[in-house]
Amino acid sequence: MMKIWERLSVLARYYLISMVSFFICWSIFSLLKIEFVNTLFFMTSYVWHFTLLTPGLKEKMLTKKQRFSFINVVVRTNYYLQLFIKIKKVPFGPSIIRAISPMLFTFILMVVGGSGNILFTLLGSISFEATHYFLSKNSFTKITLTPPSDSEIPPAIPSAESFHE
């Protein structure tokens, strides 16, 4: 088992660990018979954090021109929130900043569509961040879950001239 694990790329390890924990959380919700709409808000927030912490995705979205991609909107929103909100003294500051954008998304859905559950959105954020935190402390998965793209200082967005080269 260890040999197979070592042959996997960092991205494959990240996907495997994150999706296994996602399916565990989803199965708990299914066993508790939580309403499907609430499960969707949980899943949206969980996958939102999963996307933000995917190794290398932040650099790819900020350096390449992905105009009409929702992932680009998610990554850039988090990028600008990191720029303007500086939480250095709080132990889980980056996690709090990452949780703001799915909460805003759910709030907009509540205002525009009339349905939304901020509690399950918050639960999805907390469950992913807790899973990520505990697995990053494990010596077996420590290298896997510390992506280089999750730094306190976001990478610089390239200028428009670099796209024309």
Q: Is residue 120 part of a domain?
A: yes
From the centroid of its chain, how far is CA 134? 15
Q: Is residue 165 part of a domain?
A: no
Q: Taking 80 as the threshold, does the pLDDT of residue 6 lie above it?
A: no
Q: Report pLDDT for 165.
A: 47
Q: Report pLDDT for 143.
A: 45
Q: Is residue 161 part of a domain?
A: no
Q: Report pLDDT for 149.
A: 47
Boundaries of domain holding 62:
2-153
Mean pLDDT of 129-142: 70
Place of tokens 């799915």: 102
Q: Is residue 117 part of a domain?
A: yes
Sequence-ordered list of residues with C-beta below 8 angstroms from that of 109, at least 6 positions apart, any chain? 115, 116
Q: Is residue 66 part of a domain?
A: yes
Worst-scoring range by mean pLDDT, 58-67, 75-84, 127-136, 155-164? 155-164
**48 near 127, Cβ under 8 Å?**
no
What pTM does this model have?
Answer: 0.73
Q: Tell whether the torsion through CA atoms of 48, 51, 57 and 58 is positive or negative.
A: positive
**Between 156 and 94, the higher pLDDT residue:** 94
Q: Report the C-alpha gap between 62 and 42 in whole angstroms.
A: 26
Q: Is residue 92 part of a domain?
A: yes
Worst-scoring range by mean pLDDT, 82-86, 111-115, 149-153? 149-153
Mean of the per-residue pLDDT values of the chain: 76
Q: Is residue 73 part of a domain?
A: yes
Mean pLDDT of 133-139: 71
Number of folded domains that form the chain = 1
Q: Is residue 163 part of a domain?
A: no
